[in-house]
């Protein structure tokens, strides 16, 4: 009995500690960065003077890269998931692909950066551009998109498919008109989760050669770029305190972006749930 | 649409979807292809023995030496510190969540752990360098500004949710009959948990530990920010070290010309990193499969 209490107390202590760590992290960043956060910071170019430096190109860069990432990862990921869940049927090739995807999910993100550097930046000649960065993160997000989409497809009851077949629908008609619509909220939630992970990625983009100092707005997908986390990294690695404040303010922007994406995911999911019930 | 074209369309769609799935195999092929090609070029100029067993890593100096051991030791040192934090706390929180916690507590704790898992690593790096290191320096005055200890501790916090949720899954999968049997023999809740449920889930728990180790070895931004850039063969966590991932970042941030030998080092280091994490993932997967077979 005493042991029970000890075990429980220790566990609660551990969980409280992780809660404290999270709170300390958020509080530390808030108190460092809050005073730097204003309209000028959001709309200015970076600068060698910490007090006039802004984060505008990094915000744009992050959004552009995310757009390219989604363009790569969504169709490929959903297509692969539909094949494995609805067509693959446990064949030998399907199993091989499944093992492969599970392995890809465990590859460190910086290795994807080396892949992007070797293939997109050099072999394809895209250079350290938004296109290269987005494609690299697209491949990185692929396993997450596939796994979450498959999970969503699995929640659709077999009877929905059988009913559709009974009415004479073909396989694809069944998938397109029955399975995908009812799995949509789950798929969307997974997608947004994958994208919110991609927006915080730093290492692969540094590896493909994204620049830390960009004082112009990106002009298109072939433009050099920076993203929020790289800008934050750049500021953190400077010794002056003023740049650390910029980094904290940049982190707040990044976290707000992340939180709003997650909020959108939750709202979407709830709306679809209501629509279906 | 006639029946014939309908059939053709169906066939085309199936092929297209198959191509998407097969595309994931191309990604793996691409990773291995790039790493093997550049590593091969690297080893044409640097002997493989000198790389694997050399103890001096100065590829960017005029007198370049390519002994990777300092980077490996730095990586393992930081990862071990992280594991020392994440293993006991993760397992404890898993035992609590699976065996004790009322659902009210679970509803609070699980989202907190999820938020912790979703924080970008660059944020943890900031936290390690500018919050944890100054805090630790008050306790250990001779702690260097860049050191292995602080990023190790913070990385432990980062992988805690992973250990906790995977271990909890493993504990959860243990059939209730085992717990009931233990109670029937007069065991208390703790005796049942620690002497029956945890041993029964051991391979699942080990799988989560090994996967966490693999994650720690591949983690980049925390160490790139807070551990420093001095490749050094040391077991002293007070010192500045450089990990394999931090080295790749260091070279990528600099202006090393593509195609040079210094540039190729990042692929050789990447290859080693890939092989290490791949081996750990395989072991973890094998353990998990063995665990699943036990209870199904």
Mind listing the pLDDT tens digit for each residue in B34-63?
Answer: 999 999 999 998 999 999 999 999 888 888
pLDDT beyond 70 at A88: yes
Task: Look at A200 and B30 and tell me if their CB atoms are within 8 Å.
Answer: no
What is the rounded distance in angstroms from the CA atom of residue A114 to the CA atom of residue B32?
Answer: 10
Closest CB to A115: pick one of B31, B190, B191. B31
Q: Are residues A8 and A95 in the same domain?
A: no
Instruction: Considering only residues A154 and A8, tell me which one the structure prediction assigns the higher pLDDT.
Output: A154
**pTM reported for the whole predicted model:** 0.92
CA of A277 vs chain B CAs: smallest distance (Å): 24
Q: Is the domain of A242 the same as that of A122? A: yes
Position A269 scores a pLDDT of 72
Give me the pLDDT at residue B63, please: 82
Cβ-based neighbour number of residue A96 at 10 Å: 12
The pLDDT, as a whole number, for residue A65 is 95
Q: Report CB contact under 8 Å: B123, A15.
A: no
**Are the C-beta atoms of residues A88 and B248 closer than 8 Å to each other?**
no
Contact B20 A142 (CB under 8 A): no
CA distance A171 to A180: 12
**A 228-257 → B contacts, CB under 8 A:** 229, 232-233, 236-237, 244, 247-248, 251, 254-255
Distance CA B70, CA B78 (A): 12
Overall domain count for chain A: 2
Specify the CATH class of B69-294 in words: mainly alpha
Say whether both A115 and A21 belong to one domain. Answer: no
Q: Which residue has the higher pLDDT, A115 or A15?
A: A115
Task: Give the pLDDT score at A273.
Answer: 66
Residues on chain A touching B118 (C-beta within 8 angstroms) = 196-197, 200, 258, 262
pLDDT in tens, B78-102: 999 999 999 999 999 999 999 888 8
- Together in a domain, A97 and A184: yes
* Integer Cα distance of A221 and B135 in angstroms: 43
| Mean pLDDT for chain A overall | 89
The better pLDDT of the pair A82, B292 is held by A82
Could B225 and A172 be called an inter-chain contact, meaning their C-beta atoms sit closer than 8 Å? Answer: no
pLDDT at B203: 92
- Whether residue A71 sits in one domain with residue A125: yes
Write the pLDDT tens digit of every residue in B251-266: 998 878 877 888 899 9
- Whether B130 sits inside 8 A of A32 (CB atoms) is yes
Q: Which of the four pLDDT bands, split at 50, 70 and 90, describes residue B296?
A: low
- The residue of chain B with its CA nearest to that of A232 is B122
Average of per-residue pLDDT across A119-127: 93
Report residue A274's pLDDT band, with 50, 70 and 90 as the boundaries: low
Total residue length of chain A: 277
| A146 neighbourhood in chain B, CB within 8 Å | 24
Pairwise CB contact (< 8 Å): A25 & B20: no
Question: Which residue, B286, B109, B278, B87, is CA-closest to B198?
Answer: B87
Extract the tokens encoding B57.
């890593």
| Residue of A274 and B183 predicted with greater confidence | B183
**Which of B10, B79, B112, B122 is the best mutation test for A, with the most CBs of A within 10 A?**
B122
* Contact A59/B at CB under 8 A: no
Pairwise CB contact (< 8 Å): B122 & A207: no
Quick one: how far is CA A35 from the chain centroid? Answer: 28
Range of the domain at A186: 40-276
Name which of B13, B93, B121 is nearest A172 (Cβ-Cβ): B13
Residue whose C-alpha is closest to residue B116's, from B76, B164, B77: B164
Is A114 in Cβ contact with B266 (below 8 Å)?
yes
Question: Nearest CA to CA, how far is B191 from chain A (Å)?
Answer: 8
Q: State yes or no: pLDDT of A276 exceeds 60.
A: no
The per-residue pLDDT for range B172-200, each reduced to its tens digit, is 999 999 999 999 999 988 899 999 999 99
Q: Is A224 helix (H, G, I), strand (E, B) or coil?
A: strand
pLDDT of residue A131: 96
* Same-domain status, A61 and A12: no
Considering chain B, what is the average pLDDT of its residues? 92
* A110 to B13: CB separation less than 8 angstroms, yes or no: no
User: What's the CATH code of the domain at A247?
Assistant: 1.10.3720.10
At A129, is the secondary structure helix, strand, or coil?
strand
Query: Which ipTM did the prediction report?
Result: 0.92
A164 and A211, same domain (yes or no): yes
Q: Do A106 and B211 touch (CB under 8 A)?
A: yes
Query: What span, in angstroms and rounded, lies between the C-alpha atoms of A126 and B69?
Result: 34
Per-residue confidence (pLDDT) for residue A277, from 0 to 100: 47
Structure confidence by residue, pLDDT tens digits, B120-146: 999 999 999 999 999 999 999 989 999
Rounded to the nearest angstrom, the minimum Cα separation between A1 and chain B is 7
Portion 5-44 of A in contact with B at CB < 8 A: 7-8, 10-12, 14-15, 17-19, 21-22, 24-25, 28-29, 32
* Domain range annotation of chain B: 3-44, 69-294
Verify that A65 and A166 share a domain, yes or no: yes
A225, A116: one domain: yes
CA dihedral B128, B225, A206, A242 (to 10 degrees): 90
Local confidence band at A272 (pLDDT 50, 70, 90 cut-offs)? low
Nearest residue of chain B to residue A72 (CA atoms): B20
Cα B113 versus chain centre, distance: 17
Query: Rounded mean pLDDT of A164-189?
Result: 91
Q: Which of B245 and B60 is assigned the larger pLDDT?
A: B245
Enumerate residues 103 to 132 of chain B having a beta carbon within 8 A of any beta carbon in chain A: 109, 112-113, 115-116, 118-127, 129-131
B285 and A102 within 8 Å at the Cβ level: the answer is yes
- In sequence order, which residues have a C-beta less than 8 Å from that of residue B220 and are 6 or more positions away? A108, A109, A110, A202, A203, B121, B245, B246, B248, B249
- Does pLDDT of A109 surpass 50? yes
Q: Is any Cβ of chain B less than 8 angstroms from the Cβ of A79?
A: yes
Which of A68 and A186 is assigned the larger pLDDT? A68
% of chain A beyond a pLDDT of 90: 58
Q: Does A261 touch chain B (CB under 8 A)?
A: no
pLDDT > 90? residue A218 = no
Whether the per-residue pLDDT at B285 is higher than 70: the answer is yes
The 3-state DSSP class for residue B66 equals strand
- What pLDDT score does A1 carry? 64
Q: Which of A1, A10, A87 sits opposite B14 (nearest CB)?
A: A87
The one-character DSSP state at B229 is S
Instruction: Report the b/e string of A43-72 with b at 16+ CB within 10 A.
Output: ebbbeeebeebbbbbbbbbbebbbebbbeb
Specify whether A229 is located in the same domain as A258. Answer: yes
pLDDT in tens, B63-81: 888 999 999 999 999 999 9
Spell out the residues 6+ positions from residue A6 whose beta carbon is closer than 8 angstroms to its own: none
Chain B, 201-220: which have a CB under 8 Å from a chain A CB? 211, 214-215, 217-220
Judge whether A165 and A100 are in contact, CB under 8 Å: no
Same domain, A26 and A79: no
Whether residues A31 and A129 fall in one domain: no
């Amino acid at each position: 009995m005493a042991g029970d209490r000890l075990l429980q107390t220790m566990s609660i202590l551990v969980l409280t500690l992780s809660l404290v760590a999270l709170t300390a992290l958020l509080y530390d960043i808030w108190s460092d960065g809050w005073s730097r956060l204003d309209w000028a910071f959001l709309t200015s170019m970076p600068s060698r003077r910490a007090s006039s430096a802004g984060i505008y190109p990094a915000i744009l860069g992050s959004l552009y890269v995310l757009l390219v990432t989604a363009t790569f990862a969504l169709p490929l990921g959903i297509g692969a998931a539909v094949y494995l869940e609805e067509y693959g049927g446990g064949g030998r090739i399907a199993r091989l692909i499944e093992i492969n995807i599970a392995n890809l999910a465990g590859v460190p993100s910086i290795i994807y950066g080396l892949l992007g550097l070797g293939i997109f930046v050099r072999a394809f000649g895209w250079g350290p551009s938004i296109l290269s960065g987005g494609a690299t993160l697209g491949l990185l997000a692929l396993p997450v998109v596939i796994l979450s989409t498959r999970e969503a497809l699995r929640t659709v009851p077999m009877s929905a498919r059988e009913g559709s077949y009974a009415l004479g629908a073909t396989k694809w008609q069944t998938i397109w008109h029955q399975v995908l619509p009812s799995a949509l909220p789950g798929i969307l939630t997974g997608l947004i989760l994958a994208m919110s992970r991609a927006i915080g990625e730093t290492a692969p983009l540094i590896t493909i050669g994204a620049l830390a100092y960009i004082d112009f707005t990106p002009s298109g997908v072939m433009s050099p770029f920076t993203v929020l986390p790289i800008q934050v990294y750049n500021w953190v690695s400077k010794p002056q305190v003023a740049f650390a404040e910029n980094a904290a303010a940049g982190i707040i922007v990044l976290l707000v972006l992340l939180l709003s994406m997650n909020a959108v995911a939750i709202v979407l999911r709830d709306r679809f749930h209501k629509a279906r019930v | 649409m006639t029946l014939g074209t309908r059939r053709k369309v169906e066939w085309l769609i199936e092929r297209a979807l198959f191509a998407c799935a097969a595309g994931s195999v191309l990604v793996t092929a691409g990773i291995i292809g790039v790493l093997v090609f550049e590593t091969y070029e690297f080893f044409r100029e640097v002997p493989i023995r000198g790389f694997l067993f050399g103890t001096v890593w100065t590829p960017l100096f005029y007198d370049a030496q390519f002994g990777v051991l300092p980077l490996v030791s730095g990586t393992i040192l930081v990862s071990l510190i992280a594991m020392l934090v994440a293993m006991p706390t993760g397992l404890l929180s898993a035992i609590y969540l699976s065996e004790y916690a009322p659902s009210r507590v679970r509803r609070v704790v699980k989202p907190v752990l999820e938020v912790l898992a979703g924080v970008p690593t660059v944020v943890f790096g900031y936290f390690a360098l500018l919050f944890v290191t100054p805090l630790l320096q008050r306790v250990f005055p001779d702690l260097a500004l860049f050191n292995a200890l602080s990023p190790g501790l913070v990385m432990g916090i980062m992988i805690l949710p992973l250990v906790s949720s995977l271990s909890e899954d493993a504990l959860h999968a243990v059939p209730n009959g085992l717990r009931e049997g233990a109670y029937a023999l007069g065991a208390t809740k703790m005796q049942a948990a620690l002497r029956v449920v945890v041993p029964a889930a051991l391979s699942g728990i080990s799988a989560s530990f090994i996967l966490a180790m693999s994650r720690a070895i591949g983690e980049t931004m925390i160490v790139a920010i807070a551990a420093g850039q001095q490749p050094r063969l040391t077991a002293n966590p007070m010192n500045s070290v450089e990990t394999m991932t931090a080295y790749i970042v260091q070279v990528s941030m600099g202006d090393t010309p593509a195609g040079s030998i210094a540039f190729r080092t990042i692929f050789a280091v990447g290859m080693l990193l890939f092989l290490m994490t791949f081996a750990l993932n395989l072991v973890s997967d094998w353990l998990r499969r063995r665990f699943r077979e036990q209870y199904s």
